[in-house]
Structure 1
Amino acid sequence: MVQGRTRNDQLAALIDEARWSHGQAASALVRVALENGADELAGVGRSHVSHWVRGTRPSGRSSVLLCEALSRRLGRVVSLEDAGLGTDQQTSELTADWHTDTLTALAALGSVDLDMDRRRALSALTYGVAAAALPSDGWWGQMAERGRHRNTSGGRVGRGDVDAVQDMVAMFSQMDQRRGGGHARATVVQYLSSDVAKHLTGTFHDDQVRRDMFSAASELAYLSGWMAFDNSEHATAQQYFSVATKLAAEAGDAPMAGHILRAMAHQAVDLGHPSRALKIANASVDGPRYVEASPRERALLGVVHARALAAHGDKNKAVAALNRAESDLGAAGPGDNEPRRVFFFSEASLAHETACTLRDIGDLDGAVREFRRSVRTRQASTFTRTHAVTLGYLGSVQVEQGNLDNGCATWSQALDIMDGIRSGRTRQTARDMRAALSPFRRRHVRAAEELDARAAAYLDTTGGLSTR
């Protein structure tokens, strides 16, 4: 014991494994600190490391950078938890810190998310507006440079490894579209935190393979964030979006970064943060994130930008953004070299987001028209989750217009489709149904009572609250 603190045996064991003295550990930390612009740590020496081993908690960014130094030495990612230097709260903070090393943040988040008890604690956290702050303009170039010069010491990574990760991402994405974010996210996280994380510390065949692997990892981290968002685990989603953005930045993949920022803007719109949503959406369509994207992806970025403008009250700009998105999707063709991640975005998806935008600017007739177009053109067996949400939104607008019979018929279709879907958005749709039906239920309108009972049953079976 030293001053009431317990010796940090985990850190001591890692330093021994690295075959470092405390002075050598300090020197390695300083090198990493200077690379990351943490000049304030240039004076760290042997005595500091000795104190940390004895149980004193490192201050500031020291713990994160020490983990990065150990990761480089050992050829694997060392998290704060591995080194006995982090808590769940610190993990949350470092993931959202744009200057924290990418792989350190990924390891820390994965270690929390794969532990059932700690995952529950993480899921209980609320969406943080501060955590949605964007990095500086200069950060993107710095990250691309860091990626090019990242030290690696693991096994060889080639084109076949990239192809395998991309295939797994495509499979998980299709499952999410059919069954919702509440299915199989732990499997996605396990794969990301084990197999893919090892690839990221490997020795790459060439720089293009490195960039493609980091892009594939970025898409997988984004997908985990999207699934968490869809399942109403909003703080978890934010942290995965942050890690995904870092991976995309190290890959120098501007369109992938725009894709993630678009998801972050979507989340902010849904949670009622219009100013934050617009700032992020503006960034998603800025410069190469939009210019270098395929026409289909441009349309996706643009229609979410329109939603953010509508939520912010910028009606005319929202309509202009919708028109541009429509043109971009119309320009998409079979010969485009478009990424597989936009496989879901078609006329039905554009119509869904357009309807949401029109609804939010008060054009209910236009919203009904576009929701119906979305329902009519979607492949419901493939994109089941979004199809159910679209029907739920359409029913809500119909009831708002005073057409209860049509609204109930639409909601009945939505509930038929929701069977087997685990999604926070479908659960919210069921809650919205019950809230809208409440006055009719109290008047003993039979159709309202029957539909309300079905919505309550869906919430009961999927973990939602069904209290009237």
Structure 2
Amino acid sequence: MRPSDPTHAPAHAAGRARTRPPNRALRALLEETEWTQAAFAHAITRLGVEIGIHLRYDRTSVAHWLRGSRPDPRVQHLMAEALSRRLGRRVTVSELGMRSTQGARGARAGAGARRRRGADGDEEGPHAGSRNYATATLDALLPDPGGHTHPADRLTALTAPVVPPPRADAPPPAPYTLRLLEESVRHDRSRDSEQPRIRAQFDPEERRPARHERAATHEPPAAPEPSGHPAPSGLSTPSGGRMAHPGHRTPPATAPAPDPATLPATAPAAAARNTCSARGTRPSAPPGPGEVASVHEHARFFALQADRYGGGHIRTSLAAYLSGLVRPLRCGEESAAHRGMLAGGARLSYLLARVYADEQRHGLAQRAFLTAADLASEADDPEGVALARRALSSQAHQLGHPRASLALAEAACEGAPADADPSTRAFLYAGLAVAEAAGGDRTRALAALGRAERQLACAPADLTTGPASPGREPVGSYQDAALLYQSSQLHAALGDRTGAIRDLRSSLRARPSGERRSRALCQAELAELLLSCGRLEEACVSWQDFLAECAQVRSGRVLAARSRMPVLLRPYARERCVQALLARTRAPAAGRRYG
């Protein structure tokens, strides 16, 4: 009888299902966590929210996995991260007992295949063959077992999701990994032990107790679950931070060899630089002053566009330009020009991370920030490394991990060089202030904010006049409006909504009118704070200004803020000011889809 005969199909499917053994490894891990199947599914769903994907798993999905079925390979990384957070130790994908050849089978599916569940329980989605690409891209973000991966090599994987030709599948949703941050803090503190510390050099009278030393010697505790309400802050200040020119470099300590099934360490072990062994590479001419100047000018342009119009306008062009720098960064000879190219690559990787974070792809953003830190380290730029840590701290704060945020903010301050300029010092201290406030330490938070204010007062005028200033660095200079925004975050974290509203309004008055994305985000946060205080009419005025600002912006965070408006205003739908506002929100949002 033909294989398609319906009388034989059920038996064939059942036979295939019986050949799949139960997943005892996953069951043992789940029993160790003392989670129910529903709790495990809920934890995976929360991790999906962190990286901007919406999953609909429940206890029945977990039951299928325990009986031997396998989810999408990308979801397996989320499962491993959820178990790692619960158990307080690293759990790799290989420990889940889900090794398969699913990608090979899925590659035979037609390009128009609809999402379905296979007869053996495996999940198959549209364009299943493109899973090979997505999984390979995610695997490229894993560390080299020998520890010899150059940070430029990871740029190929970080830019592949948005570099032409168009891909059939979405970028791999790399999980946001707390263990990666903990290892970063430990490694960076050991590497910076011989460098002058920012507090010791800048404010010797304000040295903190021996908390840094304690934090560097014990395993950081597991971060708490993300809060149930959105944090009032963004990934970083709306205007971003400044990456500095190369300075003195202390040779990094040798890091332990990473597990090949884990996510990338923040700095590769010392290796022979510029071996140019990557597939498809060939020797290239050494960069000159013109190439270095071009890289920095491109970084300046992309940073300016991101602040003004949002990352949606520059994402593809930024990724394409950065992917073209992989060979020069990987194969250049040791020289001042090559270090300048590496510093420029660090700035561009930092900007790519901001774009990914703006789109809520926090796993990719985390790795792009870490790559920026590695490139800055290769460029002998400890100030750039400190600024990348500061960005990672802000990201952890936004995602509801206050302990990791505080550890990273402290590491950023400790690792900054003694000759860092006042604008950089202010940026680092402001990040520390917000992290202290999120941890509930009001005294330390206000002290750090005071140091940031004093340092910014000492900065030259051309570093505080906005993106059009002639002395502006490519990744943005710290300005008064940005510090006021951080101050509003601090007060919101401490529960002082009145102070947060005051500082947000001051930030809007000080911020240049051309920074439309930054102004739109501030207006949205101001409106939500006003509404939480019962000041409905003032909130509607701020939302009206928000809608006017975001008309020209293509930003994931701005779009998310716009989508929250009808939900927050629904209880007041009978009010006249609310009706007029809701009528405007029904109009199509500019840039609702931008690739």
- What is the Cα deviation at residue 459 of structure 1? 5.0
| C-alpha separation in 2, matches of 1:265 and 1:319 | 18
- For 1:98 and 1:266, how far apart are their aligned partners in 2? 28
Equivalent residue number for residue 268 of structure 1: 396
Write the distance in 1 (CA, Å) between the matches of 2:560 and 2:147.
32
Cα distance between partner residues in 1 of 2:542 and 2:389: 32
Separation in 1, partners of 2:434, 2:272: 36
Residues 1:305 and 1:97: Cα distance change in structure 2 (over 3 Å): farther
CA distance in structure 1 between the partners assigned to 2:180 and 2:162 by the alignment: 18
Aligned counterparts, 1:385-424, within 5 A: 385-424=517-556
Check the 8 A contact 2:141/2:154 in 1, yes or no. Answer: no
Instruction: Find the partner of 1:257 among 385, 396, 417.
Output: 385
Task: Within 5 Å, give how 1:405-444 maps onto structure 2.
Answer: 405-441=537-573, 444=574
Cα displacement string for residues 185-244 of structure 1 (whole angstroms, at most 9, x for unaligned residues): 1111111111x223214444x622222111111110111111111122212211211211
State which drifts further: 293-302 or 169-178.
Answer: 293-302
Counterpart of 1:108, as a letter, is A
Q: Distance in 1 between matches of 2:317 and 2:475?
A: 22
Contact kept in structure 2, 1:354 and 1:370, CA below 8 Å: yes
1:384-404 superposed Cα distances (whole Å, 9 cap, x missing partner): 111111111111111111111
Q: Is the 8 A contact 1:144 1:250 kept in 2?
A: no
| Residue 149 of structure 1, CA deviation | 4.7
Matches of 1:145 and 1:87, distance apart in 2:
23
Whole-Å Cα distance in 1 between the matches of residues 290 and 525 of structure 2? 42
Structure 2 distance, partners of 1:96, 1:269, is: 31
Please state if 1:350 is matched with 2:480: no
Match for residue 90 of structure 1? 139
Q: Deviations over 1:228-261 (max 9, x none)?
A: 1112221221121121111111112111111111
Question: 1:141 is matched with which residue?
Answer: 252
Match status 1:332 vs 2:490: no
- Secondary structure at 1:120's aligned position in 2? coil
- What TM-score results when the alignment is normalised by the length of structure 2? 0.58
Secondary structure of 1:160's aligned partner: helix
The 1:380/1:313 distance shift into structure 2, 3 A limit, reads same
Partner of 1:28: none
- Of all paired residues, the percent bearing the same amino acid is 27
Matches within 5 A, 1:12-411: 87-94=136-143, 100-114=149-163, 116-117=166-167, 120-122=170-172, 124-135=173-184, 136-137=187-188, 138=190, 141-142=252-253, 146=270, 149-151=273-275, 153-194=283-324, 196-204=325-333, 207-287=335-415, 289=416, 291-334=418-461, 340-341=473-474, 343-381=476-514, 383-411=515-543
Structure 2 runs not aligned, ≥5 long: 1-132, 192-250, 254-266, 277-282, 464-469
Label 1:339 to 1:460 Cα distance change in 2 as closer, same or farther (>3 A): closer
Say whether the 8 Å CA contact 2:426–2:453 is kept in structure 1.
yes
Structure 2 Cα separation of the partners of residues 458 and 300 of structure 1: 37
The verdict on how the C-alpha distance between 1:448 and 1:131 changes in structure 2, with shifts beyond 3 A counting, is farther
94 and 434 in structure 1: CA distance in 2 versus 1, 3 angstrom threshold: farther
Distance in 1, matches of 2:353 and 2:441, equals: 28
The CA deviation at 1:298 is: 1.4
**DSSP-derived class of the 2:313 partner:** coil
Distance 1:210 1:402 in 2: 56
2:423 touches 2:455 (CA, 8 Å); kept in 1?
Answer: yes
SS of alignment partner, residue 277 of structure 1: helix
Q: How far apart are residue 329 of structure 1 and its match?
A: 0.6
Q: How much does 1:343 deviate?
A: 3.7
Q: d(CA) in 1 for partners of 2:387 and 2:511?
A: 22
- Output the amino acid matched with 2:167: D
Per-residue CA deviation, residues 416-450 of structure 1 (Å, 9 max, x unaligned), is 10002111221232234333212112xx2222233
Deviates more, 1:326-335 or 1:225-234: 326-335
Could you tell me how far 1:147 is from its partner in structure 2?
8.0
CA RMSD of aligned residues (A): 3.1
Rounded Cα–Cα distance in structure 2 between residues aligned with 1:219 and 1:235 = 19
d(CA) in 1 for partners of 2:541 and 2:395?
Answer: 29
| Structure 1 position 335, deviation (Å) | 8.5
- Which range moves more in the overlay, 450-459 or 155-164? 450-459
The structure with higher relative contact order (CA 8 Å, sep 6+) is 2
Q: CA 1:189–1:461 in 2, change beyond 3 Å: closer, same or farther?
A: closer
In 2, Cα distance between equivalents of 1:247 and 1:119: 29
Residue 117 (structure 1) shift:
3.2
1:273–1:116: structure 2 CA closer, same or farther, 3 Å change rule?
A: farther
Partner AA of 1:345 in structure 2: Y
Write out per-residue CA displacement over residues 141-169 of structure 1, whole angstroms, 9 at most, x where no aligned residue: 15699489544642121121110100000
Contact 2:346 2:373 in 1 (8 A): yes
Q: Distance in 1 between matches of 2:572 and 2:537?
A: 12
Change (3 A) 1:338 1:130: farther
Is the alpha carbon distance of 1:267 and 1:454 closer, same or farther for their aligned partners in structure 2, counting shifts above 3 Å? farther
Give the TM-score normalised by structure 1: 0.73
Measured after TM superposition, the shift of residue 125 of structure 1 is 4.1
Deviation of the 1:458 alpha carbon: 5.3
Q: Which moved more, 1:429-438 or 1:410-419?
A: 429-438
How much does 1:113 deviate? 4.3
Report the number of matched residues.
376
